[in-house]
Structure 1
Amino acid sequence: MKIVLIGYMGSGKSTIGKLLAKELKCRFLDLDDVLENNLGTSISELFKTKGEVFFRNKEHHFLNELLTEDSNFILSTGGGTPCYSGNMDSMLQYADAVFYLKVSIPGLIERLIPEKEHRPLIKDIANEDLPEFIGKHLFERNNFYLKANHIVECDNKSPQHIADEIIGLLG
C-alpha cells in the first residue's frame, strides 16, 4: 500500500506519517530526506545554489521514482510538492490514497512560530505577517490540496487521533 500525505508546512505530515508507518508496519519516507540523501546536500542549500526550478525537477523525478516502485510506504511530501510538475496527478494515479492534512491558519501559526528558525521559508518573516503569508500560500495551493482522496481536519486533534482517523478511512 502506498499512502501519500500532503499539506502545508507544519501540518504534521512527518509526525503522522511515522505513526502510520509504525501501526501499518511499513516504511516511512520523507520526500525531502529522499532528495537530500540522493543529492548529498540539504534542501536549503539546493535552493541557494541551484534554485527552485532545479529543486522542483529533482523533487518530481524522485517522487515518480518512488510512486512507481513496487513497495509499500507512507510518504510525507513537501508543502509545495503537489503544486508542481503534475505531481498531484502522479500521486493520485500511483498511490493507493492521498490524504490532505488540513490545518487552519491560526493552527499553523501556533505550530510554526516555535520552530521558525528551522523553517527557511518563514524564518525571516515577522510573526505578525505570518497569517497573511500563510493565507496567500494556502489560497495558491488549495486547488491542488483539495484534489486529495481524503481531507483530514487536524485542528485540535492529537497526532495519534489523526493517524487513527486515517487508518479508519483506509478501511
Structure 2
Amino acid sequence: MKNLKIVLLGYMGSGKSTVGRIVANHLNIKFLDLDDYIEEGEAMSIASIFETKGEIYFRKKEIEYLNKVFSNKDSFVLSLGGGTPCFGTNMALINEKTANSFYLNVGINELTDRLMKEKSHRPMISHLEDDKLTEFIGMHLFERSYFYNQAHQKVKINNNTPTEIAEMIVNKLV
C-alpha cells in the first residue's frame, strides 16, 4: 500500500485519535493528529490560539496545516479536529487528496456519555451544564452532518471497541 492516506473525521469524542493510532500501528504507517500538528507548529495549545488570536486565525492555520500534511509523500493516518471538515473547502480538499476518508459516526447518547467524563478538558463544552450537553451535541451534529457525510466511508459505531473500529476501517480501505 504505497502512499496510503487515511483521514478520520467525526465529532469530538468519537475516537478519531485512539482509533487512528491503532490503524496506523496495524498498517505500520505514521499517525498524525491535526490538532497536535497545529499546536506544535504554532508553539501553543489550541485553547490558547482561540483565546489569544481567535477562531478565524485558527481556521486559517488549520487549512494551512491540512495542506501541509497532504504535501507529505509518506503514508499516514490523520485524525482531524471535530470542526475541520466544516470550514472552507477542507472537505473537498480531503476527498481530492485521498479515497480513504472515514466518518466515525457515534450516536448522540454515546457521545454524551463519553464527553460527560472529559467535559472539563474540552473548551467547547466545559461551560455547559450537564443537562444541556445532549442538546448541544445533537444540535452540533445536525449542523456538521452535511460535511461529515461527505466522507468516502461511514463507520457506524455501536459501543464497539477502538480495536473493532480500527478493523472495520482497515477492511474498508481502497
What secondary structure is seen at the aligned counterpart in 2 of 1:168?
Answer: helix
Deviation at 1:81, TM superposition (A): 0.1
Matches within 5 A, 1:76-155: 76-155=79-158
Shift of the alpha carbon at 1:88? 0.3
Equivalent position SS for 2:104: strand
Provide the aligned C-alpha RMSD in A.
0.8
Deviation at residue 13 of structure 1 after TM alignment: 0.1
2:30 corresponds to which residue? 27
C-alpha displacement at 1:127, in angstroms?
A: 1.0
Judge conservation of contact 1:67–1:95 (CA < 8 Å) in 2.
no
Distance in 1 (CA, whole Å) between partners of 2:98 and 2:56 is 25
The code of the aligned residue for 1:166 comes to I
Per-residue CA shift, 1:41-63, capped at 9, x if unaligned?
00000000000000000000000
Q: 1:65 matched to which residue of 2? A: 68
Q: Distance in 2 between matches of 1:46 and 1:162?
A: 32
Query: Identity of counterpart residues, as a percentage?
Result: 47
The residue aligned with 1:41 is: 44
Count of matched residue positions in the alignment of Structure 1 and Structure 2: 171
Letter in 1 for 2:155: V
User: Where does structure 1 differ by over 6 angstroms across 4 or more consecutive aligned residues?
Assistant: none
Task: Give deviations 1:23-70, integer Å, cap 9, x for gaps.
Answer: 000000000000000000000000000000000000000001111321
Unaligned segments of structure 1, at least 5 residues:
none
* Per-residue Cα deviation, 1:54-105 (whole angstroms, up to 9, x for no partner): 0000000000111132111000000000000100000000023100000010
Q: Structure 2-normalised TM-score?
A: 0.96
Q: Which amino acid aligns with 2:138?
A: G
Measured in 2, the distance between the counterparts of 1:72 and 1:168 equals 17
Secondary structure of the residue aligned to 2:118 is helix
Distance (whole Å) between structure 2 residues aligned to residue 43 and residue 121 of structure 1? 11
**Offset at residue 129 of structure 1 (A):** 0.2
Query: SS of the residue aligned with 1:51?
Result: helix
